[in-house]
Chains A and B, each alone.
Chain A
Amino acid sequence: MLADALRARPPGLDEAFALVDGLDDALVHGLARLDDDRAAALDALVGAFSATPLADRVTEAIGKIISGTVTDEHLAVLAGCRLALLGAAHDALLTDLDAALTRTREPHPAAPAPAGGAAGSMASAGGGQLSAGSRSWLRELAIAGWRGVDHELAAGGSPAVQALLGEPSRRRLAVLLDGFAAELRAAAPVATLPRVPVRRWADLWSRALILAQAGRPAEPGSPVDGRPAGSGTLVDGRLLILGADLHEHPTVFRCQVHGLLETAGGVRLVRTSVAAAKVDTISGAAAWRMLSAFPILLAGLAEHRCLEVARMTLTAGGDLIWDETRASAGEPADPFVSARVLLAGAVATSTAPLDRHPSVIAEPVLLEGYTATAEAFDLGGGTVAVETDRLPAAGPLTPELVAGSTACIGLLRFDGGRWAVQPIAVRSTVRKKAVTAHTGDWALGPTDAKAAKTEAVAGTAVDVLRERAGRLLRK
Chain B
Amino acid sequence: MTSEGVAYERRGAARVIAPVRPRKLAKVPFVELAEDRLQGVVSSGSDVSRVYVSSITAREHGLSCNTNNNRPCGGLSGAYPCNHLRALVEAAVAQYGIDRVARYLRVEPPEEETEIWSVLHPVAAPGRTPEVFSSFLRHLGYLELPPSTDPLPELQWFPAAGVVR
Between A and B, how many residue pairs show CB distances below 8 Å? 237
- Residue from the list A221, A358, A454 in contact with B149, Cβ < 8 A: A221
Residues of chain B contacted by A317 (CB below 8 angstroms): 151
1/0 per residue B120-141: CB within 8 Å of A?
A: 0000000000000000111111
Q: B10 contacts which of A199, A472, A473 (Cβ < 8 Å)? A: A199
- Please determine whether B145 and A183 come into contact, CB atoms closer than 8 angstroms: no
B143 and A281 within 8 A (CB) = no
Docked pose: A195 CA to B143 CA in angstroms: 33
Cα(A391)–Cα(B12), bound, Å: 17
Q: Of B24-32, B76-84, B107-115, which binds chain A?
A: B24-32
A139 on interface, CB distance cutoff 8 Å = no
A360 contacts the other chain (Cβ, under 8 Å)? yes
Chain B residues near A220: list those with CB within 8 A. Answer: 150-151
In the assembled complex, the CB of A448 is this many whole angstroms from the nearest CB of chain B, namely 12
A415 touches B36 (CB 8 A): no
Q: Assess whether B34 is in contact with A185, with CB atoms less than 8 Å apart.
A: yes
By the criterion CB–CB under 8 Å, are A172 and B152 in contact? Answer: yes
Q: Is B162's CB under 8 angstroms from A473's CB?
A: no
Of all chain A residues, which has the CB nearest B2? Answer: A389
- A176, CB-defined interface residue at 8 Å: yes
Contacts A204-B154, A275-B150: A251 and B142 contacting too (C-beta < 8 A)?
Answer: yes
Contact A473 B8, beta carbon cutoff 8 Å: no
Q: Is A187 an interface residue (CB 8 A)?
A: yes
Task: With A393-B160, A461-B22 as known contacts, state yes or no: A221 contacts B148, CB within 8 Å.
Answer: yes
B45 close to chain A: CB less than 8 A: no
Please tell me the number of chain B residues within 8 Å of chain A, measured between CB atoms: 59
Q: In A242-273, which residues have CB < 8 Å from any B CB?
A: 246-254, 256, 271-273
A321 within 8 A of B: yes
Q: Does B9 contact A (CB under 8 A)?
A: yes
Interface residues of A in 342-393 (CB under 8 A from B): 351, 355, 357-360, 362, 375, 385, 387-393
Is B23 in contact with chain A by the CB < 8 A criterion?
yes
How far, in whole Å, are A137 and B102 apart by their CA atoms in the complex?
28
**How long is the Cα–Cα vector from A219 to B24 in the complex, in angstroms?**
37
With both beta carbons as reference points, the residue of chain B lying nearest to A293 in the complex is identified as B147
Q: Mark A10-37, 1 if CB is under 8 A from B, else 0.
A: 0000000000010000000000000000
Cβ of A186 within 8 Å of any chain B Cβ, yes or no, is yes
Report how far A186 CA is from B163 CA in the complex, Å: 20
Number of A positions contacting B (CB below 8 A): 101
Query: Is B36 in contact with A151, judged by CB distance below 8 angstroms?
Result: yes
Query: For the complex, is A284 an interface residue (Cβ under 8 Å from B)?
Result: yes
A394 to B152, CA, bound (A): 20
B11-43 CB contacts (< 8 Å) to partner A = 11-17, 19-20, 22-26, 29, 33-36
A322 in contact (CB, < 8 A): yes
Known A284-B161, A461-B22, A464-B25: A277·B143 in contact at CB below 8 Å: yes
- The residues of A that contact B139 with a CB separation of less than 8 Å are 279
Partner of A176, one of B8, B11, B154: B154
Q: Are B154 and A175 in contact (CB under 8 A)?
A: yes
A26 to chain B, nearest CB (A): 14
Contacts of B147 in A (CB 8 A): 274-277, 290-291, 293-294
Question: Which has the most chain B C-beta neighbours within 10 Å: A176, A207, A294?
Answer: A176
**In the bound complex, what is the Cα–Cα distance between A319 and B156 (angstroms)?**
14
Q: Which residues of B contact A355 (CB under 8 A)?
A: 153
Residues of A with Cβ closer than 8 Å to B? 21, 151, 155, 162, 165, 168, 171-172, 175-176, 179, 182-183, 185-187, 195-200, 203-204, 207, 219-222, 246-254, 256, 271-281, 283-284, 286-287, 290-291, 293-294, 315, 317, 319, 321-323, 351, 355, 357-360, 362, 375, 385, 387-394, 398, 415-418, 420, 422, 454, 457-458, 460-461, 464-466, 468-469, 471-473
Q: Which 6 A-B pairs have the closest CB atoms?
A: A416-B6, A246-B160, A392-B160, A221-B150, A247-B155, A197-B14
Taking A247-B159, A284-B22 as known contacts, 19 extra A-B pairs with beta carbons closer than 8 A to each other, sorted by chain A number, are A155-B35, A200-B13, A222-B150, A252-B155, A252-B158, A272-B149, A275-B152, A279-B139, A293-B147, A294-B147, A391-B163, A393-B19, A417-B10, A465-B25, A465-B29, A465-B143, A468-B29, A468-B140, A473-B144
